[in-house]
Amino acid sequence: MEELTLIQKVAVFALPVLLAITVHEAAHGWMASRLGDKTALMLGRVTLNPLKHVDPVGTVVVPLLTMLTGFIFGWAKPVPVNWNNLRNPRRDMGLVALAGPGANLIMAVIWGLVIKFSVLFLHAAEWVAIPLIYMGGAGVLINIILMVLNLTPVLPLDGGRVLSALLPPRMALAFSRMEPYGLIIIVLLLVSGVLGRILWPVALFVLSFLPASNIVKQLFLS
């Protein structure tokens, strides 16, 4: 298949990026509500309505700019969680954090199945199948990247929340003091290219287990 222009890439990635970030945040709120904190539910954040989750800068501007670097980065409005309402705060905060990357993994599998289904109709309805194949590839790729990125053990990322839940209380408290500097650390690692060199091998490893991984590699990684 032909190389996409920048405009085509934006069109192909727009829906997968929006869904990946929206479902990721909704999953946090859903898990929190299941574990005793209804804050996100009461604020209408346990929803697939993207308008409830979109951050104009983090969901639109930053992904468009970072798309040019080959490693898409972005964020949505964080889902509010009151840890005091959770039945087992330390454990449950870790589970709430894992829900977001877990949702991304599920979506990556679904997008992979979209590719496989579209390939079956490639000759019969090429005008529909080809856009769906490209969009499915974008969906697999963006969800893997967001999953792996968010599992990086740096606060305020989900991986940092999980690590904090696993550490002994004193170590968790010391680790939590790094949170104000976490975003700066992440941006520096991203700009320097270090983050990509660390996370790309992990993302490619995860990709190798997903449906239609060979097609995703041919479309965007060859």
Which residues does the annotation mark as catalytic?
25
DSSP three-state, residue 178: coil
Q: Hunting for tokens 């599920």 — which residue is that?
A: 106
Q: Hunting for tokens 């080959």 — which residue is that?
A: 70
What is the rounded CA–CA span in Å between residue 96 and residue 82?
A: 11
User: Which amino acid is residue 209, in one-letter code?
Assistant: F
What is the rounded CA–CA span in Å between residue 150 and residue 157?
A: 5
What is the rounded CA–CA span in Å between residue 54 and residue 212?
A: 29
Q: How many CB atoms lie within 10 A of CB 138?
A: 25
What is the rounded CA–CA span in Å between residue 146 and residue 103?
A: 10
